[in-house]
Structure formats: C-alpha cells, structure tokens
Amino acid sequence: MKQLIKKSIAALLSFALITTAGVITSEKARAEAADPAGQNFLTLIKGDYQPLFEGATFDQKYDHYWHDYAAAVVGESQANDIVAYLKASIGSTGYGSNAVPPNFYCGFIDDVASISFGEDGKTVTYKKNDGTTVSHEYEYVKEAAAKGMYGEYEMEMEGHLYQAKDDNDDGFEYLLMFPDTPDTTYHLEFRYADTEANVLSLTSGEYGYWVGSAIKSSALSEANEATLQNVISLFVVENLADMTNEETNKQRAGLVGTWDCDFSAFPEYAGAQMYIVLGADGSGKTYADFTGKAAPSLTAEYTFFAYDENATDGKDAGTYISLNEEAGTVTPGRYEIGTVNGKKALIFTSNEGTITYLYREAASEPGSDTKAAKAQTITVKTASKTYKANALKKKSKSFNIGAKAKTSLTYKVTKYPKNAKKYIKVSKKGKVTLKKNAKKGTYKITVTAKATAAYKQATKTVTVKVK
C-alpha cells in the first residue's frame, strides 16, 4: 500500500469508492466539457496525441485491464468473450466503401500517425507516417452534429465544427471535435474531412463509420498508467453497466455492509464522520460530516463493481470500479478486505492514494436502525409515460410525477438510452421534461422518500418511453 498522503476535505471526498470521483462519464462530464464555447475548445486539448486503440490500449500489455474491468462488471465467466466483442466494435480496419457495419474504425486516416494541437488554441498539425506534416489554423464555425443511420436508428454525435483559414485543398479543411477532453474523459474523439458534408456524414460516404479516437502520447510513459486505466475502465463501464448479473453480485458480496472511515491517519479531521453503505445490488452511498457538529448527511450515490482475480490465494482482494452516474465519474482501483487493529477492514487503493474503512456491526442507513421507524409508500399520479419520437421533433414535452410520501422526496434520472441523458431532466418538485429530439429508448426516474427516525426510506421508479 502506498503511503496515505495528506488531503483537503474536497480531495478526501474524492478518494476511491467513497464518492467515486476521479475519472471519466461519462454523459455529465461530456456535457460539462461542452460548456466552453467552440471558439475556446481547442485551448482545452493542447498537446500531442496518438491513436487511442491500436498502438495504445490494444497493446497486449494492457490486456489485463480490459479483462479485469470487464470481469468486475459482467463476471469472470463472460469477460474474455465480452472484451473481444467490445474491441471488435471499435476495431474495424475499414471505413467508407470498406466499412464493416456496425463496427467503426477509430484510428487516424489519410496516413496520419499523430496529431498536435498547438499552444495558440488554433493550429493543428497532422504528422504523417512518412514524416511529412500538414498544418492548418482553424476558426470556429458553429455547433454541428455528425449524423447517420445505424441499423434502424438515427445516430447523432454533437460537436464543435472548425474550418481551416487557408486555401489549401486537402482532407483536413474541416474538423469536427466532439466534447471529450483529457480532463473529462481522458481521450479525444473527432472527424476531419475535405468538405462540411463529408465531416458530418457519420455512416455514409467516403468517411462513413469512422470516428478518430486519440490519447495523449505522454500517457504511455506514465509510471502508474493512470490514464490508460481510466480510459479503459470508462469504455468498459459505459458499455457494460446494464449487463450486470448474479455473478456480478456474487463477486461484490464481500464488500456489502456499512463501513466507517478510519480517520486515524487524518488528525486534522478530528471529530469528522464519514461512512459508506454498500448494497448487495451494487448500490453505494456515502454519508459525511466534517464539522463534527452534525449527523452525517448523504453526499454521494454510486454503483460499485468488484472482482477477485486470484480466488485461490486465500485473500479477498482484487479490482474494483465505481461509477457515480450523477457526477459523471468512474474510478478504477483495488480493494482488499483484511484486519486493522483487530477489526474487519475494507481498504481501497487508487491513483489518488489509500483509504481504510472499518466494518460496522450496526444498522446501515440513517433511520433504519430505529426500531420505531415505519415503512412508507410513495404514491404517484404518473408512473409511466410514452411519447412518439416524431412528437418530440419540434418541441419538448413535460409532465408532473405527482409523488407523495410521509417524508421529503428527491428525484433522479437513473437509466436512459446511451448518449441521451441530456435530453431528459427532472426538477426538485418532480416535473419531468423531455427535450426536443429526445432519443428513442426507455428512461427511468427514481423517486426517493428520505429515511428519518420515524420512517424508513422508500423508492419508486417512473418510466418514460420514447418510441
């Protein structure tokens, strides 16, 4: 275990599983990355980049990350097959007339070996395999989306569109940058082409089924391989989180329970309280109070995954990943269940450091340890709603859930079609809004009634379908 380093409260809260801060999401991270205007976006990604997959994450020496992260999410028995499928989905060797739908080619095209985004936030240099370079100074044009039919569904990827300021006639005149950045998703995604029509044609034409993906070249020389761990775990969790099963639950069963943070290594936080509640279904919650003057309150909710890659060594230790969907973060690392000062301990280690929790024999949730606490039921006026996609082409749609319970209520979008969370929102009062052009799929909203000394926590799911 690495030495536990001193952290501020904010950093402490981001440690390992306690709030699952650290890496990537996914959707919220991407939305926040898109906040800066397109005029400024290139300043966020300065540096030298190489292809993300071939020559980087597909290198055999990183196979153990792919396997272990996939095993944590879907189970050891399926890991190898699932990894092969994932790699194939973005490992096509052809695009345009040589495309192999539904798989995408994600390398660099036009014989480009590496790409540099300049310090001026405008110049992009493409270095080719023969050592020659092509440079353009780009100017922002507009927000735009690459679109195309993906099977029977319309696929759309929104980004920032740029055009070269010079008159050179080549395959790099237009550049479409998607909102991923090294600070949010640890990689870049983009398309370049000779015309605006070609750069925006996602699944047809001479650039069909191609999206370039890149990683900073410096990532491959990191001693702790943090960027590689982060970007691989992001890809795995984003694509497999809905495929959990009984094997997944069995693997994380040893972590289930209530665990109190061991603050003995943090004398500056004397009086502080923090604990995590890990459920058998993979749900996790963090409660904390750093003032020493109040009861710990809920600070984060997340999903956790675990995999003991050496089940025969007599140790309960291995890989973990935690997904904080609301914060848009994924944190990979390691866990170990052992003993500290005679107490059962859960020790998490990530690239942020190490933190220890001690098992609590008592009840797990605020209010649930009170014998007088009564069960409560949430009632809603609208438990499900269905809309036609065509009806959402020109305007948004809204409705009120109309929930009632004995205690205060909170609302959270907990499931949604991939890349579509930005199309639905729910207010603090339970008003649900589907924005224009909401994607087809099933959206789910969890309504939670708070636990108190008098009443236990209750939840109810509201379903919204777009057909």
Q: Give pLDDT, residue 152.
A: 80
Residues forming a β-bridge with 127: 114, 133
Given this model, what pLDDT does residue 440 score?
84
Structure confidence at residue 369 (pLDDT): 45
**Same fold for the pair 9-19+252-360 and 27-239:** yes
What pLDDT does residue 20 have? 28
Residue ranges of the chain with per-residue pLDDT less than 50: 1-35, 364, 367-371
- Note the pLDDT of residue 290: 86
What is the rounded distance in angstroms from the CA atom of residue 398 to the CA atom of residue 387? 11
d(CA 463, CA 467) in angstroms, rounded, equals 13
pLDDT for 372 equals 55
* Structural contact between residues 218 and 238, judged by C-beta atoms closer than 8 angstroms: no
The CATH homologous superfamily of the domain defined by 27-239: Calycin beta-barrel core domain (2.40.128.20)
pLDDT in tens, 288-347: 988 888 888 888 889 999 999 888 888 899 999 998 876 667 889 999 999 999 999 999
Report the distance separating Cα 301 and Cα 282, nearest Å.
11
Parse the chain into domains and list their residue ranges.
Answer: 9-19+252-360, 27-239, 384-466
> Which of the listed CATH numbers 3.30.70.20, 1.10.20.140, 2.160.10.10, 2.60.40.60 matches domain 384-466?
2.60.40.60
**Dihedral sign for Cα atoms in the order 180, 181, 183, 187:** positive
Give ∠ CA 256-259-263 in degrees, rounded to 5: 155
Residue range 43-75, pLDDT digits in tens = 999 999 999 999 999 999 999 999 999 999 999
Strand order in the sheet with 397-400: 397-400, 431-434, 424-426
Sign, Cα dihedral of 179, 182, 183, 184: positive
At 418 the pLDDT is 59
Q: Using DSSP, state whether 337 is helix, strand or coil.
A: strand
pTM of the model: 0.74
Residue closest to 136 by CA, chosen among 180, 175, 108, 181: 175
Of 368, 435, 430, residue with least CA distance to 399 = 430
- pLDDT for 22 equals 27
Residue carrying structure tokens 């071939």 = 54
Please state which CATH class domain 9-19+252-360 belongs to.
Answer: mainly beta
Helix (H, G, I), strand (E, B) or coil at 136: strand
Q: Report the sign of the C-alpha dihedral through residues 224, 230, 233, 235, in that order.
A: negative
